[in-house]
Amino acid sequence: KMTMKDLDLKGKRVFCRVDFNVPMEDGKVTDDTRIRAAIPTIEYLVEQGAKVILASHLGRPKGQVNEDMRLAAAGARLSELLGSDVKCLEESVGETVEQEIASLDPGSILLLENVRFHAGEEQNDPELAKQFAALADVFVNDAFGAAHRAHASTAGIAEHLPAVSGLLLEKELDVLGKALSEPDRPFTAIIGGAKVKDKIGVIDHLLDVVDNLIIGGGLSYTFLKALGHEIGNSLVEEDKLDLAKSFIDKAKEKGVKFYLPIDVTIANEFSKDAETNTAKIEEIPSDWMGLDIGPETVKLYADVINESKLIIWNGPMGVFEMEAFANGTKSVAQAMAETAGYTVIGGGDSAAAVEKFHVADKMDHISTGGGASLEFMEGKELPGVTALSNK
């Protein structure tokens, strides 16, 4: 497959799609991980003497200009990180953009406005894709986080230009791809989060490749109930009980060890000030709810993590935003930090958790994609990637 490095980029206009969909508060970027992750590609393009045209979405403005979703703050942060100028435009296509690009010097950087201000972006409108393509000579996709979207700036544009992946996209595909196709064993996946519904595809696919599957978070109660446990007021998806049971059966068939909590931190209500206690899963009182994995479960899970050569983690073990129910997620993060195995964090909440518990630098790979890494782990094709390999 062709990469950026196979092209002569000197003096070329490069439309580089990045994922600068970063959390913001009061007009400031509160987590610049995705911006930092795009820097190797941007610096490479600058070194090659390309004219760098960066494009991204931010939030979900639904095809309209939204003052709170402008990319200028992300551009300012990028400029600080690079220590060089990044010119931020207030449009992503049109005359002004064309003029700015025409006067761009090789090695300089322009950031287009939020591409989702145009409805055509999410519709993958061929006209908009053509307009993007007309701005450049080469398309570089480095937006792994948006690679599961078939949009004009992630997929459509690739039909009109030489289209290659950037360094971040390459790295993400490399790490996640190797993990799933030629894993070091024992290979353990930890799946948490609130709902079974969101993790169906990923659990199903992982059961084909892992040695151990660890379940935590809200979704564990549906599994526990499917096994006949009384779970009190804990979260449950009644319509997923059969599915949960079928996953447990599939694990048996495949020889995958399937781990569920053996004890939980319970609360009398869903509140940070709730009364709390620890209960074995056979002993959850009918009017209490489980909101985190318990200490025995933490020990069990930490042992499995410790004995694994490869561990992928997606989804928190409890309601870690609340101090009283953070211990499970924190302990798993620490076990991940301490294991000698290769650790992969599958974006989203788990990435936020390793940040929060100050162990991010101890992980081998933290994916910049939430939805994208999940879809990748489901075994799905990512349209933003497919568009490139079609070339």
Residues labelled catalytic: 34, 195, 348, 371
Residue 21 lies near ligand 3PG (rule: CB under 6 A): yes
Residues 282-311 that bind ligand 3PG (CB under 6 A): none
Within 13 Å, how many C-alpha atoms sit on residue 192's CB side? Answer: 30
In whole angstroms, give the CA distance from residue 327 to residue 350.
14
In whole angstroms, give the CA distance from residue 223 to residue 225.
5
Q: Is 70 annotated as a binding residue?
A: no
In whole angstroms, give the CA distance from residue 329 to residue 335.
10
Q: Kindly indicate which of the ranges 4-12, 145-153, 213-221, 247-255 contains the residues binding ligand 3PG, using the contact rule CB under 6 A.
A: 145-153
- What is the separation, in whole angstroms, between the first and last Cα of the chain? 9
Task: Locate 225 and state its tokens.
Answer: 């109930």
Q: Which is nearer to ligand 3PG, 11 or 23 (CB)?
A: 23
Q: Is 68 annotated as a binding residue?
A: no
Task: Determine the distance from the C-alpha atom of residue 120 to the mean position of all C-alpha atoms in its chain, rounded to a whole number.
Answer: 24
Q: Kindly indicate which of the ranges 7-15, 68-76, 144-152, 284-292 contains the residues binding ligand 3PG, using the contact rule CB under 6 A.
A: 144-152
Which of 149, 199, 240, 330 lies at the binding interface for ligand 3PG (CB under 6 A)? Answer: 149
Q: Is 13 annotated as a binding residue?
A: no
> What string marks each residue from 326 to 365 as x (binds ligand 3PG by CB under 6 A) or -?
----------------------------------------
SS3 13: strand
Contact between 318 and 292 under an 8 Å Cβ cutoff? The reply is: yes
Residue 371 lies near ligand 3PG (rule: CB under 6 A): yes
Residue 19 lies near ligand 3PG (rule: CB under 6 A): yes
| Minimum gap (Å) between residue 209 Cβ and ligand 3PG | 23
Q: Is 19 annotated as a binding residue?
A: yes
**What Å distances lie between residue 79 and 32, 36, 112, 179, CA to CA?**
12, 11, 14, 34
Q: Is 81 annotated as a binding residue?
A: no
Residue 62 lies near ligand 3PG (rule: CB under 6 A): no
Contact between 333 and 359 under an 8 Å Cβ cutoff? The reply is: yes
CA torsion sign, 262 to 225 to 259 to 352? negative
Contacts with ligand 3PG, residue ranges (CB under 6 A)? 19, 21, 60, 145-146, 149, 370-371
Q: Which residues are annotated as a binding site?
A: 19-21, 34, 57-60, 116, 149, 199, 290, 321, 347-350
